[in-house]
Each structure stands twice: as structure tokens, then as C-alpha cells.
Structure 1
Amino acid sequence: MRRRVLLLVGATTALVLVAFLVPLALLVKDVAADRAVQRATVEAQQLTSLVAVADRAALEASVRQVDARSADAVSVFVDGAVLGAPADRTPLVRLAEGGASTSGVVDGGRQVVFAVARPGRAAAVISTFVSDARLAAGVWRAWLLLGALGVALLVVSLLVADRLARAFVRSTVDLAAVSHRLGRGDLAARADTSAPGELGVVATALNGLAGRIAETLREERETIADLSHRVRTPLTSLRMDAEAIADPDTARRIGTGVEAVNRAVTEVIQQARRRNTAPGVPVTDAAGVVAGRVAFWAVLAEDTDRELTVDVPTDPLPVVLAAADLEAVIDALLGNVFAHTPHGTALRVELRPAPGGGARLVVDDAGPGLPAARHPGALRRGVSGSGSSGLGLDIARASAERSGGGVRLERSPAGGLRVVVDLGLGRP
């Protein structure tokens, strides 16, 4: 942008200088020529009285003296002779012999002639020849000065434009830097509102937007904190009810579920509090987490007569994702299967290393499938083909993308839905 401003100012200034200096240069040339002709005319007129009354010897001496003193060639045509500087009898001279004083352009310069009447004798003619060099005397120097003036004005205009462009570009770059900082989560970044012109208005609006975002996030954190207190009270009651169940296995299963909900609520609160801070890089053993959560859901699968096939490696399989987030992914996918397929529907959970690192989690079911799986809208937040909230698949998608992976929906070999979750080793 700075270069464009300089080009624009330079081109505009050059056009103005050309429009101003070219006519001025031509005027200087005309003035110099007129001045040279006027000076030659004055010198020639000094001989008028002598030509009219002086005798031949005195006139010849005076003409030689004037010609020697003058920078121009001075001649007098009298009685068929040429006194002073040698000159030809040009048409202008013959015209002056008829009584007309005039001037005109001749080869090599300009000639000025005066007709001098002599009582009782033929008219004499005074001729002054001004060469082209005399007509252009000082013109080149004046043109050089005008050119130097034009170059100086152009340089000054470019310097001023450069300073203005620097201020303009600097303000624009500062705005972009603040925008990038806000995009990275640094909500304390603020733009300089003293930027010139409309940039100051944009900076003020950007600062207002940053303040509004910070206020919205603060309200969100407060809402989540309030929600945590509301949720933990019934969770405590559920935990106490679970402890009061006579069947130890049922009590342990319900207690484990309550504890999982409590961990999820705690993780949500911690994520809200960590906002605006530089995130870490959590590394989780996907094999251990998947095996643990599948074991939890296996009890419910047995109660609902579902055949659950599990293929999870025993060796550690690291992925860049928090354990709580990975647990939320597994719970969302398996919860969808249990919620949207009839009892007795078989399902399969597979975890294997992904090409290029990370892990690939595959959940297959033999249910009716998801019609929306045939288009990308099935992964949009709030979109559901079964009347639910539509947040389960979105949770899986968001977590997978945070790890550098993604989610695909396919048809399983059993005719139901297959969800493929790629968990990476870093951000894409």
C-alpha cells in the first residue's frame, strides 16, 4: 500500500509539474528572444540621427564603433554601400528601402531593419542581425533551474507522501496485529484509536468488539459456574442414593456413572476458567481411555441384550487430546447408539493406529442408520435426524478437530451407521 501511495503521489505531482513547467519554459524562451531583439533595436536606433545628418566618413566611423561594441551584427545600407558588419541585401532590407521598418526571421537568427529618411537623398537602412545563440542566451540555464526545481518539488512531495504513507500503513499493520492477537484469544489486545482518519474509527470499533467479547466470555464463565453449583447438588443426592442400593454391582455401576458426570462438569468448568490462557498440549493414552469407557457401557449393553464387540489394543496409543474430552467423545457416540437403536442391536467398537500417527476410533451399529449421514449437515451443531439435540456428533467432531483429526459418517457393514473418528498428534 505504501508503494501504491508513493506511485500515486509521484504520478500526480509529475503531471502537475509538466503542466506548469512546460508552458513556463516556453515563456522563458520567448522572453529571452524578445529581450535580445529589444536590446538590438535600441542599439540600432542610436544610429538613426547620425544616418540622417552625418557625412559619409563620420557615419562610417560611428557604425564601425557601434558594431564593434555590440554583440549583434550592425550594418547600414546607404547610397548602395554597406557600412559596418558585412550583410546581404535581404528582402527585409529592400522592404525598408521603401520606407517600412520591420523585423523577421532569417537564416541563423532574426533581422531588425529601420528605414531612415534623408532629405533630398535616398532612404538609408539600419540593419541589426541577432543570431540564434543570442536569442537563446540564458534559456538553457533557466531551463536547468526549472528542471532542478521540478525534481526538488517531486522529491519533497514523495518525502511527504512517504511519511504519510508510513503513518497510514503503520496504523493498518497495527490494526491487523491486534486482530490477530484477538483471534488467538488475547482479549487484552487493544488498537490505537489515535490512528489517522477512518482507521481511528475502525480501531475504536475493534476495541469495542474486543470488550464485548470479553464481557460475553465473562458472563459465560459465570453462567457455567452457576450451573455447576446447580448440577452438583442433584449429583450428590444421586451418589447417596447409589450408595444406599443393596446390590453392590448396581450401586457401583450407578456410582461410576455419577462420578463420570461429575468429572464432565468439573472439566467444563476448568475449560471455561482456562479460556484466554495459552492452551497446553495434553497427551492421552487413547487405548486406556477407550477400554475404560467401553467397559462402563458394556454393563448397559448386557442389560439391553446388545452384542458388544470390542477391538482395542493393549499397548498405549497416544493422541493429543485431554482424557475428559476423549471420554466425552466415546460417551456421545455410544450414547447415540443406545438412544437411537432398538434393544438387541449389535454394536462394535474398534481402535487402531491411524496412518501418519494418532488413532482411529470406529463405532459400528446394526441399527436403522442415520439418513442425514448422507450429507455434511449431519455433523453441524444442533442437527439431528432422530429428534435429539444433535450435540453428540458435534462434540465428537469438535474434539477430533482439536487433535488435528476429523469425523466421517459412513454405512456400517451391518447396515447401520459407522462413525469414524480420527484422533491426531497435533493441530492441523
Structure 2
Amino acid sequence: MARLQIDIDYLAEQLKALLAIPSPAGFTDTVVRATCEELDRLGVPYDLTRRGAIRAWVKGKTSNQRRAVISHLDTLGAQVKMIKDNGRLELVPIGHWSARFSEGARCTIISEKGSYRGTILPLMASGHTFGEEVDKLPVGWPFVELRIDALARTKADVGRLGIDVGDLVAIDPAPEFLDNGFIVSRYLDNKAGAALMLACLQALAREEAVPTVDTYWLFSISEEVGVGASAVVPHDVASLVVVDNGTSAPGQNSAEFGVTIAMADQTGPFDYHLTRKLIQLCRDNEIRFQRDVFRYYRSDSASAIEAGADVRTALATFGVDASHGYERINMHALRSVAELLTAYCLSPVMIERDAKELGPLKGFTEQPLEEAEQSLGPGKRNNGKRDNDKGDR
């Protein structure tokens, strides 16, 4: 069955709703509840892990060798490292992101007594005071501080507000949706992935399409700190497609249009067969795609494998410019990834042996080693033979 049509208005609506909910890793209860409410509205059943990772599922034509798709709901953020004598807060990051993207950001400090608004500023923030020295300050978390929008001139003042070491800081995403399809915001990684997964589920429900096999739709809550999929992938899942951002940047082959299929990340190559299945589905369904290799990148695939899941994994991404900064994507990429996921869950199972965790050699996969045919043009010779002469092969 071909790809399903994706409602991009619904996708955009869900992305806006998710971006509006602060969810740095460690503070994800609210976004989990909102996602579950949308699953309820779509009529998709689900369970939660103790900490709140979501395991939703759609029944297939058979329960033999289940599939799964995963994205994460948590984002980057910060925590209070120290309360300074001047009433400002020293921060440490949640996840890996540069302090240069924090400068000037509006944010919310989440304390036990309630929330406070504030701004992250460089230590030398006033040109009228420091002159040219403001441009000489190094980049790094020791060189920024959080100014609280409350009476907080001293450490004692901050204590009276109830703010303490370890309190979480949620950075405003500041989203902007343009008419030409571009979307600019923090945390498109990976609120966009979660939104497009919901759009897939909406399309399946609308078309009353039944997947080939039972398919789990997973939403993890701690990917940005490296352990997202470690406790949510069921043992009976044979293949796991991860949805996350591709890095559209100099030296990369990712793009803000179409699907970017990751061939490898810093943990190594993705599964040969599942990755090439996604590529072939793009070709068969005329979905624009490109391939890329990520050097400084890991995803829910790594945490699933490290936790002991014997599962084939692949990574389908939407190209993001300035990832882990002030990010930009295009709706074309989000729609393309969503179309690919619908085509995938409706596609036939190719490796029947994967239905069992252990089995004999019979039915095990093969990877081609034959020498490729080389066409040099009409009448040209290739290794002493004409281009239409295959010799003994």
C-alpha cells in the first residue's frame, strides 16, 4: 500500500502545542499528559512507564514480529549550579548545547515555590558599562548568568524566593511559522518528530488503514541525556525506526527538504537491511530523500541497543539548520518523513526469520558482495569485455 496523505495543518497544530509546553529532560510530566490526551482523542491505546515514556500501539493484520517507531518529547535546558552573591544564577546545561545560544534567551526557573521568569545574559551585558570588553568575553557556561525577574539583588533575596541549586530552567522556544513552510524555533529537535508521529497516527485513523503487523509508537522522555529508549522498547519488537533531526550544515548531506536517511552516527552504522528498506520505500513512493553520516550525534537507537534490545534500527530525519541552537526546518521535510513512516508501517515484512529472537542460520539475511556492473557507454570496453558481456556472472 502506498504512503498516506498527511494533514500538514494538523501537524503544525500539534507542533505548536508541543512547543508551548516546557519539557527539559527531567521535567516532562506535562508534555507526556498532553501527548496522552491527544492519543485518547485519536483513539490510540497506550501505556506509560513509571517515569512517563509512552508506549502507544496500533493493531496490525498480524502480531508476528512487531515494529516500532520512536521520537522523544524531552528537550535541552539548564539547571541552577550556584546562587551568586549578586543574586544571579550560575547554570549548567541539560544535554549538550553551546552557551552562545543561551545569551539573551528568555526562560522560566522552576522552583518548589513556583515559577519565575528571567533572562540569560553574558557576565558583561552592558556596553555602556564595559565598552568593547563585552565583545571579548569568552563563550561558555561560566561566562553567562541568569537574571531573575524578581527582587533578587543578593543570595539571601534568592533564598527567600525559594530558588535553590538544582532547580530546572526551561528556555523559551520562541517559535515562528512562516507562510513559505519554514519553521524557526528552539527544540524542533524533537518536538517536530513527536508532532509528525501524531500526524501519522491521525492519517492511519482517518484512512482506517491497518498496518501489516502490530506497530508501537513510542515517545521517550530522556533522549537528550542519553537514555531515552532504554526502558520503553518491548522485547518482541524486531525493528525500530527512530525519528529525529538531521544536521543541515556545511560538510553534511542533510537537507531541510525531503527525508534524510542516516547511514551512521557516532555509535556506528545503522542496520543495513532496515536502512535500505526505508531508502527503497522513498524510491517506490516518490518521496524525496538523501543520505547522510553524523559524526557528533546519537539518538534513541543507541540507548535501545545499549540497554540490550536485539532490534534492527534505522534513523529517518528531517533536516534542521543550527541544530541544538535556534533551529530551522521546513514543513516539506516533516511531511516527507511522516509519509515515509506510513508507507513503512503498511509495507510487507521482508525478513520472516526476525519473528523469533533466536533461530537457525536458515532464513538469515545476506549482504551483497558481487562486483558492480560498470557501463562506460555504447561500444566501450569494460575490463576487456563489452558493457553487455557479463562473462561468467
Structure with the higher fraction of residues in helix conformation? 1
TM-score, normalised to structure 1, is: 0.20
Q: TM-score, normalised by structure 2?
A: 0.21
* Larger proportion of strand: 2
